[in-house]
Structure 1
Amino acid sequence: MKGMILIMDGLGDRPLKDLNGMTPLQAAKTPNMDKMAEKGINGLMDSIKPGIIPGSDTAHISILGYDPYEIYTGRGPFEASGVGVDILPGDIAFRCNFSTADSNKIITDRRAGRIRDGTKDIINTLNGMIIEGYEDVKIIFKESTGHRAVLVLRSEGHESLSDAVSDADPKNEGKPPKTVFPTDDTKEAVRTADILNKIVDTSYEMIKDHPVNQEREKNGEPPANIIVPRGAGAVPEVESINEKYNLNSLCIAETGLIMGIGRFAGMDIIEVEGATGGTDTNLDNIIDEIVKHATGNEYNFLLINIDGADEAGHDGSFEEKLEFIEKVDKIVIKKLLEIEDCYIILTADHSTPISRMDHTADPVPIIINGPEVRIDNVKEFNEIEAHKGGLCRIRGSDVMDILMDLMNNSSKFGA
């Protein structure tokens, strides 16, 4: 038997006045998700535990059966690995945003208008960066999808670096990048914080007049003229998921972060052409890859991540979120229903309510479809109906154990 977990990033939400007290998932027309609910067993899931607000990274780590409190050092290493940077022990990695700053270095757009093109050219310029006084620190930038990028610091001298540093991201427009400070009193942390502050300032000077940004300004688009790092982390040690559960596993994801988690877990990675991580992503290409590998013989476990609902939630657009949910239902879920001999789990990693424009700890709906599943009486897939299902309320850390048991891939505990 095969198993698949499809995670719709940020799918969960809260009731909205604009939708007559419904969530976007409730309000959306989702006949195929509803059919999955009717054919499966349903419930609610806290990806970490009740009341804990998950990041996409810690949520996925938990759902894959790892303890995020043990292996999570920060988002940066996963993001860096996901975009193909070979990070080494001792490296410190960060996720970054291409952002827009005015002449006073006030951030006017944290995501540079959700830039899609030209970031590779900007990164090529930034990779020539050398910080005076820190010539022994190699500075490695790499573009990811959209407005995302990564930064890796590698000490090539005798002095080490530290991930005990704060973020530069101000979180909101109208503020300058935050001054990075050490979060412990080690000289390594002090050194790393100083380097980061200089990198932020230097990035602005290096790329504010870049040809890509000149063209964007000419077209009335926000320039990607400053790099804002966050999510510092040292390289973690992660047990291979293939060894942990006796699997041949594949990850199909849109963002560097989730691909990086897959790589650390020892999964093969498929990068899908046209997968942007936004509501404009190419869902046809994504489902073609899913079906190809779910019906082939090479893999018996697939992790899928589709990100657009999360982007719409962060943007506070219930119209975009509802529309994207309906697109996934029509293009992706419809074809998933045709796959046989596979246990398919549909869920989210966390809620990203329109009213909050950020993650919350609200539990998310979950369905399991497949042979011999105990079908319950739930007929619709949404946050409200799910609690009536036979799964009741579970944690993310339960998912792989449940799936492995259904796949007859578990061992008995005890005599």
Structure 2
Amino acid sequence: MVKIFVILDGIGDKSCKVLDGATPLEAAKTKNLDYFASKSNGGYVYTVNEQIAPESDEAILALLGYDPHKYYYGRGPLEAYGAGMKFKDGYLALRTNFSTVKDGKLIDRRVGRSLTTRESRELAKEINEKVKLDVPFEFKATVGHRGVLIFKGDFSDNISNVDPAYKKVGRFGVAMAGNLDRLQECKPLDPDKKTKLSANLVNEFVKKSYEVLNKDLINEKRNKKYLLAANIIVPRDAGIILPELPKMKGWGAVVSMPLELGITKLAGMGVLKFDYPEMKSTNVYDHLFKGLKKTIDESIKAIKERKYDKYFIHFKEIDIPGHDNKPLEKKKMIEIIDKRFFKFLRKKVDDLELVVTGDHSSPCELNAHSADPVPLIHYNPKIQKNDDVQRFTEHECIENGSYGKLMGKNILKTFGFI
């Protein structure tokens, strides 16, 4: 019997006006997922703890059974590893966004999600060639507006974020909501000389990247097309250590983003590589739907090949409309996954064990992650159903699930997946 662990990124939501008060999960037509829910036992999950709105990095680690308080050392090194960059302990790695600033104000953290793959790669080349610092660095554009920055040397990661959307609280990055239109100065969080140097270096890079990007020909062309300029790099989630994770033997993984690639590779999973579609136009949702369908197809292919006894399947795309306040798009993505992926799984109901949940909630009307729990169902044809969950929705799993409250780091052990 194959075991399948499915993460629907950012799946949790709240009442949406455009959906007549329903959540995207409640509004979506999901007869295949609901079939599994009607045969499953349900519950709800706080992936890290009940007080914070987690980022995906610490949430994914927790869901795979790794206590983030023990194994999390910042997002930067995980993304760098997933992006195939050379990283040594002591190097300073940060996750970054191409962003738009004007008159000192942060206009858009993601350049309106309109940056093409070609543009981001060319801008990265300009940064690596024209930004001059006293220490060697490498910047790499990854997917869309995303990137990774590495300073090579011996640094401290006890520094604050430049990105106002995520605040460093202890080790973790915590999602913030509200007015996020001012870049933050990177500040040292202790008096050590190395920490001050690290913070100053980040600030210098941000300033010099702006000077290069704001004059770049690509951004001049974007301005003429009335598109937002990708004129600054905004870093966050510094790290200087790549964690050593206990290996998860017998697992295959279908993931598409650098973060999840990094974590699953470190976990020793067999990562099933595929080419995620490049963004060739400024229509990000056209790109996302293509990417979602590609990830579904590759997931089905992997499960059919059955090279592994257990599979970790991650669908990133659902998270994006939560950040963009697009409930209809989130609903449509859920329906596509149901019609394509869960319909396929339904044909194998006697030969699989299934856990479906999310890494965090991304309520559309909040435009950010929240601390709300995510729904969970556990399907095993050999286990009797003990609750009244009939649909995979927030309300049903919280109100009717027999598992009740679960913590992310305990899920796989609870269900015998590890």
TM-score by length of 2: 0.88
Residue matched to 2:66: 66
Which region of structure 1 is more displaced relative to structure 2, 273-282 or 41-50?
273-282
C-alpha distance in 2 between matches for 1:129 and 1:165: 25
Residue 368 of structure 1 aligns with an amino acid whose one-letter code is H
- Identical residues among aligned pairs (%): 34
The DSSP-based 3-state class of the residue aligned with 1:393 is: strand
Q: Does the aligned pair in 1 maintain the 2:137–2:152 contact within 8 Å?
A: yes
Structure 2 unmatched runs, 5+: 166-177, 279-283
Per-residue Cα deviation, 1:188-235 (whole angstroms, up to 9, x for no partner): 110011111110011111122333323322322112121111111121
Of the three residues 123, 139, 142, the one matched with 2:140 is 142
Shift of 1:138: 1.5
* 1:73-152 mapped onto 2 (5 Å cutoff): 73-102=73-102, 104-114=103-113, 115-117=115-117, 118-129=119-130, 131-132=132-133, 134=134, 137-152=135-150
Name the amino acid aligned to 2:198: T
AA at the equivalent of 2:62: S
Stretch deviating more after TM superposition (377-386 or 264-273): 264-273
* Match of residue 242 from structure 2: 236
Aligned to 2:408: 396
- 2-side partners of 1:380 and 1:176: how far apart? 41
Q: Deviations over 1:239-292 (max 9, x none)?
A: 2332xxxx2222222221111111222223234334579643433321222122
Decide which moves more: 5-14 or 104-113: 104-113
RMSD: 2.2
C-alpha contact 1:281 1:308 (8 A) present in aligned 2: no
* Contact 1:71 1:236 (C-alpha < 8 Å) held by counterparts: no
Q: What SS is found at the alignment partner of 1:38?
A: helix
Q: Secondary structure at the match of 2:196?
A: helix
Are positions 1:380 and 2:388 aligned together? no
Paired residue type of 2:345: L
**In structure 2, C-alpha distance between the alignment counterparts of 1:373 and 1:364, rounded to whole Å:** 22
Could you list the runs of 5+ residues in structure 1 that have no partner in the other structure?
Answer: 410-415
Alignment match, 2:50: 50
1:345-384 matches, within 5 Å, as 345-376=355-386, 377-384=388-395
Q: Secondary structure at the match of 2:100?
A: strand
User: 1:338 Cα shift?
Assistant: 2.4
Alignment deviations for residues 104-158 of structure 1 (CA, whole Å, 9 cap, x no partner): 34322110121232211111111225544x2xx2211111111100101111xxx
Q: Which residue of 2 aligns with 1:249?
A: 251
CA shift digits 1:346-384 (9 cap, x unpaired): 111111112321111211111122331332432111011
Report the AA paired with residue 163 of structure 1: D
Distance 2:180 2:247 in 1: 43
Q: CA deviation at 1:337?
A: 1.9
Aligned residue pairs, count: 394
CA contact (8 A) 2:272 2:302 kept: no
Cα shift at 1:293: 1.7
Q: What amino acid is the match of 1:128?
A: E
Instruction: Give 1:39's aligned residue.
Output: 39
Q: C-alpha distance in 2, partners of 1:48/1:127? A: 36
Letter in 2 for 1:301: K
Work out which of the residue numbers 199, 202, 211 in structure 2 matches 1:196.
202
Q: CA deviation at 1:400?
A: 1.2
Judging changes above 3 Å, is the alpha-carbon distance between structure 1 residues 225 and 270 closer, same or farther for their aligned structure 2 residues? farther
Alpha-carbon distance change, 281 to 231 in structure 1, aligned in 2, over 3 angstroms: farther
Counterpart code for 1:62: A
